[in-house]
Amino acid sequence: MCSILSVIDLRDRADLSILRPSAIALSALQRHRGPDWSGVYEHPNALLVHERLSIVDPAGGAQPLLSKDRQLALAVNGEIYNHSEFRTALESTYAFQSGSDCEVINALYASAPDAAPADWLKRLNGMFAFVLWDATRKRALIARDHMGICPLYWGHDVEGRLWVASEMKAIARLCVDVSQFPPGHVFDTETGELTAWYAPTWRAHADVVGHQVSPEVIREALESAVHRQMMGDVPYGVLLSGGLDSSIIAACAARFARKRVEDGDNSEAWWPRVHSFAIGLEGSPDLAAAEVAARAIDSVHHGFTFTLEEGLDALPDVIRHIETFDVTTVRASTPMFLLARRIKSMGVKMVLSGEGSDELFGGYLYFHKAPDAQSFHEELVRKLDALHQFDCLRANKSMMAWGVEPRVPFLDPTFMDVAMGIDATQKMVRNGRIEKHILREAFKGVLPDEILWRQKEQFSDGVGYGWIDGLKAHAETVVSAVQLASAAIRFPLNTPASKEAYLYRTIFEQSFASAACAATVPSGKSIACSSPAALAWDAAFANSADPSGRAVSGVHNAPVTV
């Protein structure tokens, strides 16, 4: 994974001798995402700048990726997991210039430049955000993956030029408007149209009613997703909190670790044993559970501790990197940010992570309160629609702050079709079943029972309950009652509802002062699950300004020593 920055529609009137160094300087603001190499493509009507983190084909594959005739230029942040099948099919008509998995995007476009981009975008299995420039037609395509796993922002400067960047910080001060590029969409400068290319068949509850899926099918589909996402030519690891989701991903990775995915499992892997990583306060539930899971899967485990003071010290850097003041996201991002630095220091450049499972299977504790299958399914869809603003953003930006690429197999589009195609009656928490019961059943015998049947802990809770309590206590000391009472005057947009939220908003403003930047953060209560329908399930939770899972009345249990 890398970073991109592009400026499009220069109208042949730009002084490139001035604009090029300016674009390079702006791109450098996100170089933490791609410390391995920088590349620039220059055209009278476009500039593409790329900061590379080399994972696949590290010796080659530098970007922007150019076609042999140099008429196509591609700057992309991401991975295309099914690139091999396209390369085989297209190499007779397209002259590949590298071993990069992402070059198949150029090849697919070149094979049918007049086709609707959605026709070939929907065939990609991966995570990506890219700008593709066709110099012959002076045309740009801008696209983002199905779930917004890779971040992407866009805006216009005072001269009306279109700027695109992986992170908001690169264009926030230049653009008069800035917003997130929507997941699952493509923008074509030739038509001026923004089009949704991702259209899964499971969005409506009526489409999945009566569709039963066995635990065996779920397990096989997820194992295939993990296997696809293990491609790479550099040291990698797994994030292992000791919760169900990360433990399942780690167990799947351990199964395939000895063979090299890139050559069809025909040779020994270059790094044949999985390394797992966890972090928490001293004595945290996650650290203890992670040790149990690591022993079960025989990973080389690395558990790290941090102190409350270290977390508080990191808050300004964390908020600047994650580009949000959402309370839930800041709480969870800070330990992840600290863990990423530890992982980077050990030479690891890619990790597999468990994000997305709760949104596919209803793992959050408030799903215990769902009144019926339709409400359950509709809330899953709503959660997935918002995921790019919460967990995807957190995982990507807090890890990429240190040049560590996170991959999320639960959000593999093929696996998502399996998981979201299940009738929600199979997922509901009832008749004594625990949340995500069907997923747990799928991995019986793979993980020890104390991990397999461990209750959901949100990451910011699981690293140690003292973390959230400490954040609240700190906010009490630095934000006065008068400041909070007048919050609507200082922050009329997305007004903070608690002292903790006020603190994060104040820090955010130091790096992102404009109203446009603040508008990129979800509005309303700082609760990732705050839809009117979901909160109506539990009046106590609906009236709480605290998004911790511990706030769900009558559901959360105290942690059990494992």
Could you give the residue numbers annotated as active site?
2
φ and ψ at residue 209, rounded to 5 degrees:
-60, 130
Task: Compute the distance between CA of residue 369 and CA of residue 492 in angstroms, rounded to an integer.
Answer: 33
Cβ contacts of 176 within 8 Å, gap of 6 or more: 155, 156, 157, 158, 516
- Tokens found for residue 443: 């991995």
Report strand pairing: 236-239 vs 350-352.
Answer: parallel
C-alpha distances out from residue 185 to 77, 122, 145, 271, Å: 15, 10, 8, 36
First to last CA, the chain: 35
- Tokens found for residue 118: 């959605």
Task: Compute the distance between CA of residue 201 and CA of residue 182 in angstroms, rounded to an integer.
Answer: 19
Q: Give 413-429 as a DSSP string.
A: HHHHHHHHTS-GGGT--
Which value, to the nearest 10 degrees, does the dihedral of the CA atoms of residues 121, 126, 130, 135 take? -50
* Cα radius of gyration (the chain): 23
Question: Looking up tokens 């983002």, which residue turns up?
Answer: 144
- Tokens found for residue 530: 């705050």
Question: Looking up tokens 């220069």, which residue turns up?
Answer: 10
